[in-house]
Structure 1
Amino acid sequence: MPRVLIADKLSPAAVEIFKQRGVDADIKTGLPKDELLKIVDQYDGVAIRSATKIDKDVIAAAKNLKVVGRAGIGVDNVDIPSATAAGVVVMNTPFGNSITTAEHAIAMMFALARQLPAADVSTQAGKWEKNRFMGVELYGKTLGLIGAGNIGSIVADRALGLKMKVVAYDPFLSPERALEIGVEKVELDELLARADIITLHTPLTDKTRNILSEENLRKTKKGVLIVNCARGGLVDEAALRKLLDEGHVGGAAFDVFIEEPAKENVLFGAENFIATPHLGASTLEAQENVALQVAEQMSDYLLTGAVTNALNSPSVTAEEAPRLKPFVALAEKLGAFAGQMVDFGVTAVDIAFEGEVAKLNTKPLTAAALAGVLRPMLAEVNMVSAPAVAKERGITVSESRQEESPIYESLIRITVTTEKGKRSFAGSVLAGAPRIIEVKGMDLDAPFAPQMLYVNNLDKPGFIGALGALLGDAKINIATFNLGRIDAGDDAIALVGVDQAPDEALLAKIQKLPHVKEARALRF
């Protein structure tokens, strides 16, 4: 039974989902880091919100960890590169609190436009300062969205309902999608110049950090209103305070800050500044939704291999997982075959899918094949980390599909390019088991075995007997023996499954046999 540590508070319904699905869930919230380090290796998964930090130390200590599930969107508290390198899938729930967060941004926009917090404090203090709180209408105003993803598009929909004009800056927003959600796609400088209100809905990355810098804030209209319910660090807080004090920025409403919890901040006390304590996802509905989603997602992965909303691994639905399983095994073993057959730096890997497998979700298969290819050179690489590792090393990865295969129902072919040329290997799944069906253009049909011997030779009489004698003398038992050749007397291959691994001395003897071109010991 898989075990999951619930390290931050989740709803009882989420805990019940784990139990109903057959996952053993331990609830230990608020653990200090040293306590977490002591116990994390006992678990296959860790479910968190925003309080618990899964840093590189926790990842290193979590020897059995397979998945981290974040109930919510932001994963600032998870070291994704370390998790990826360790083969740990990191999931979030990007849609469970989208409506709630979007509604909070709209609420902040209203509060800012009508100065509601200050008016409330004044009125409850016994004052009646009707003339002091002169607001602005939202009708007809231009809203500038920085980020038009899931939450941004919901904000746009609500703003259009208020009869606002909406312009959006988002490098990933296609013209078709912009038309669909009813916004005008613009560059950042145009948004800054045109927007009456700017609201941010983008993750914090190196490219978005301080996207509203002092320089960019000065490009805005005088009196612009700024709303940030996305991530602290998107706005230069010190610069914003300066422009609030100068009167260039008419007001700002923040739900997120660079340092949280924000017990003090440069923006606090500024005229027409509104702050809330990271309430974007804080509704009963949203908290319940993301908790239930993360429990379902983690259970699916641990029990079936289905991957949903992963930030560092291809997605696999629960329906796809059982169909993909034998092909994942084939791709990884075939990749391992290819990786053990090259001695020079890999510059490119092409994975071709033919037949029925080409109709499946091939991204996990490509990741598995890459892991197999790279593992002989980089022992710690895995299916999760392989695509990133290949990219880091400048290895070009390509994928092709052909929905018809002339002989086999499904075929996977891996072609590895090195400084010395190309080598190609093909395999298929027969009766549910992965098989090698082609090497160096030669047809054969060989099962994978934990220990194998590969020999490339000229097809001459006496070779099989001589090879068998050497293996017998070395007391190595033959489990399977499969042959392939181009033509009689031409190039040939022997793939031998053996019960004991051949050592270097035996390989040297095999290499010296007449007509032998190459001999290798393979492990799977």
Structure 2
Amino acid sequence: MAAPKVLISDSLSNAAVQIFRDRGIDVDFFPNLGKDKERFAAVIGHYDGLAIRSATKVTEKVLAQTSRLKVIGRAGIGVDNVDVAAATARGVIVMNTPFGNSITTAEHAIAMMFALARQIPQADLSTQAGKWEKNRFMGVELTGKTLGIIGCGNIGAIVADRAVGLKLKVVAYDPYLSPERALEIGVEKVELDALLARADIITLHVPMTDKTRNILSAENLARTKPGVRIVNCARGGLVDEVALRAALDSGHVAGAAFDVFIEEPATANPLFGHPNVICTPHLGASTNEAQENVALQVAEQMSDYLMTGAITNAINFPSISADEAPRLKPFVALAEKLGSFLGQLTDAPIKGIRITYEGAVAGMNTRALTAAAVTGALRPFLQDINMVSAPALARERGIVVDEIKREGGASDYESVIRITVDAEDMPRDAAGTVFHDGKPRIIEIRSIAIDAAFAPHMLYVRNHDKPGFIGRLGTILGEAGVNVATFNLGREEEGGNAICFCAVDAPISESVRAEIETIPQVKRARPVSF
């Protein structure tokens, strides 16, 4: 049997290349190939594995060129340059190295704070130009200032630890940060409005999701404390750059330090040229230690998968052995979809997630299934979460994850998975099973029996069981040009609480959702996607 073959199309350390060779893998190391899109697409079909950094773009078009590729390894946390959905559809495992550069990124954020506080880059340029403008560069002390951290996960917690050591008062906004975890790392948990009003410096450490995009919008920037300083070493697009420039011009924001931008490489940007702005070219992970750590880690992970079938830090698959995969795969899909369904319905901070396994599934590797359920529930806010990092990320935020196993029976079904997401406003629950065709189905929502297959686009409606609802809903969808694929109903009792869960051929717009909620019988309508 021929040895697996791996392509390294971006710059990786020689030690990482040697790991592949020592494990018996045939490796081609072309560190600039990823920049040549046509040549890269022409050769990718010859490889079982692909190791990349950020320069290589793995698009659906590229993936269409190969039927051999089994795994993509990203040396780093961000997989924005990989079409994960297209890879998943082709059965390609996508791995990253989520914790290899955390310290480096946190240290860069701290360095940017100091540079802002003392205007170090501007003073350096002035002094080396032969000027001695000692009175021009009047700085501020960090000691005693209030640092606001938006996102207090792995990197945010490291920033908090360093900031506490520097004698800053730290407040943090993170819906998934528990009061106990906040106390442990020495921060005060606050809501976003309180952080904006109190922080002298704001630093962002959240992934880019629909919920975090422009989290510092023009409106939120206006709510900040006059003289605030903004640091972004996380993701471009978390801050409205045009609005920030206006706030800098007006003097409301005293300074900004950015390592990331909406468009990269950033050759032009609204922030460029402002005297109180410091910019670096996405250097958050750029230290020798971090680059070496993630390179070695991705080489080990890919080698393990290609040689033994072991999966670690996968974005689109849990950590399970090759022998377990065929039996577990449909239940992994069920657990993640149930968790995703409940997570999409939850806006309030999550306190706990309880997964109950009934019947034959209780005897399986439920750790992988629980990781899948937690991933689904938290992904609406933490887009970079994967099935390996999910348990650790839940623990970091003080989210209690419980497993309950009941092997004795599962009512009318051989196996049932029940998930309850306990949020600060209310608990939400759903149950599902896998039929003999291997397809997951949802069989219960809010203790109401229902039978529905999952589809890419679905509409969930809670309503009163009264005449006229179905007709009015169908009219609204029809007038909006939304085609219904399947229509499933359940109710507690005649005239009582009821649920509609239907598959549609296209996403439901906000305006259509709002119109559905005007139907007298409707309590809530929410589009969900899988």
- Band of TM-score, shorter chain: 0.5 to 0.7
CA apart distance, 1:333: 9.5
1:363 to 369, 372, 392: 369
Identify the residue that residue 251 of structure 2 maps to in structure 1: 247
CA distance in 1, matches of 2:43, 2:112: 41
Q: 1:332 to 1:128 in 2, by over 3 A?
A: closer
Identify the residue that residue 104 of structure 1 maps to in structure 2: 108
Pairs within 5 Å for 1:513-524:
none
Pairs within 5 Å for 1:430-441:
none
Letter in 2 for 1:87: G
Identify the residue that residue 36 of structure 1 maps to in structure 2: 40
Letter in 2 for 1:363: L
Identify the residue that residue 231 of structure 1 maps to in structure 2: 235
Secondary structure at the counterpart of residue 243 of structure 1: helix
1:188 to 171, 187, 192: 192
For the pair 1:18 / 2:39, whether they are aligned, the reply is no
Letter in 2 for 1:57: K
1:298 to 302, 324, 339: 302
Q: 1:109 to 1:353 in 2, by over 3 A?
A: farther
Letter in 2 for 1:82: A
Identify the residue that residue 526 of structure 2 maps to in structure 1: none
Q: 1:423 to 1:190 in 2, by over 3 A?
A: closer
Structure (1 or 2) with the larger CA radius of gyration: 1
Q: 1:243 to 1:360 in 2, by over 3 A?
A: closer
CA distance in 1, matches of 2:367, 2:252: 52
For the pair 1:155 / 2:138, whether they are aligned, the reply is no
User: Which digits, 9 at most, give the CA deviation of each residue in 1:381-416, with x for residues without a partner?
Assistant: xxx9xxxxxxxxxxxxxx98647679xxxxx94469
User: Which digits, 9 at most, give the CA deviation of each residue in 1:172-231, with x for residues without a partner?
Assistant: 222222222111111111111111000011111121111111111111011100001111
Letter in 2 for 1:232: G
Secondary structure at the counterpart of residue 72 of structure 2: strand
Identify the residue that residue 428 of structure 2 maps to in structure 1: none
For the pair 1:170 / 2:178, whether they are aligned, the reply is no
Contact 1:355 1:403 in 2 (8 A): no
Letter in 2 for 1:361: R
Structure 2: gaps (5+ residues):
333-355, 374-386, 388-401, 418-431, 437-530
Identify the residue that residue 286 of structure 1 maps to in structure 2: 290
CA apart distance, 1:356: 8.8
CA apart distance, 1:29: 2.8
Contact 1:353 1:401 in 2 (8 A): no
Identify the residue that residue 342 of structure 1 maps to in structure 2: none
CA apart distance, 1:128: 1.4
Secondary structure at the counterpart of residue 198 of structure 1: strand
Identify the residue that residue 310 of structure 1 maps to in structure 2: 314
Q: 1:63 to 1:423 in 2, by over 3 A?
A: closer
2:92 to 83, 88, 95: 88
Structure 1: gaps (5+ residues):
336-349, 368-383, 385-398, 407-411, 426-524
CA distance in 2, matches of 1:353, 1:47: 40
Q: 1:413 to 1:14 in 2, by over 3 A?
A: farther
Letter in 2 for 1:189: D
CA apart distance, 1:87: 1.8
Identify the residue that residue 482 of structure 1 maps to in structure 2: none
CA distance in 2, matches of 1:333, 1:247: 56
Q: 1:365 to 1:182 in 2, by over 3 A?
A: closer
Pairs within 5 Å for 1:447-462:
none
CA distance in 1, matches of 2:271, 2:361: 61
CA distance in 1, matches of 2:326, 2:240: 49
Pairs within 5 Å for 1:352-501:
352=358, 357-358=363-364, 361-363=367-369, 402=405, 413-414=414-415
CA distance in 1, matches of 2:279, 2:330: 55
CA distance in 1, matches of 2:116, 2:122: 10
CA apart distance, 1:117: 0.6
CA apart distance, 1:62: 2.2
CA apart distance, 1:361: 2.9
CA apart distance, 1:30: 2.5
Contact 1:198 1:225 in 2 (8 A): yes
CA apart distance, 1:74: 1.2
Letter in 2 for 1:10: L
Q: 1:238 to 1:288 in 2, by over 3 A?
A: same
Secondary structure at the counterpart of residue 167 of structure 1: strand
Identify the residue that residue 143 of structure 2 maps to in structure 1: 139
For the pair 1:198 / 2:202, whether they are aligned, the reply is yes
Q: How many pairs does the alignment contain?
A: 369
For the pair 1:267 / 2:271, whether they are aligned, the reply is yes
User: Which digits, 9 at most, give the CA deviation of each residue in 1:119-163, with x for residues without a partner?
Assistant: 111111121111111111111111111111111110000000001
Secondary structure at the counterpart of residue 230 of structure 2: strand
TM-score (norm: length of structure 2) = 0.64
CA apart distance, 1:171: 1.7
Using the TM superposition, name which of 298-307 and 197-206 deviates more: 298-307
Q: 1:299 to 1:115 in 2, by over 3 A?
A: same
Letter in 1 for 2:14: P
Q: 1:199 to 1:332 in 2, by over 3 A?
A: closer
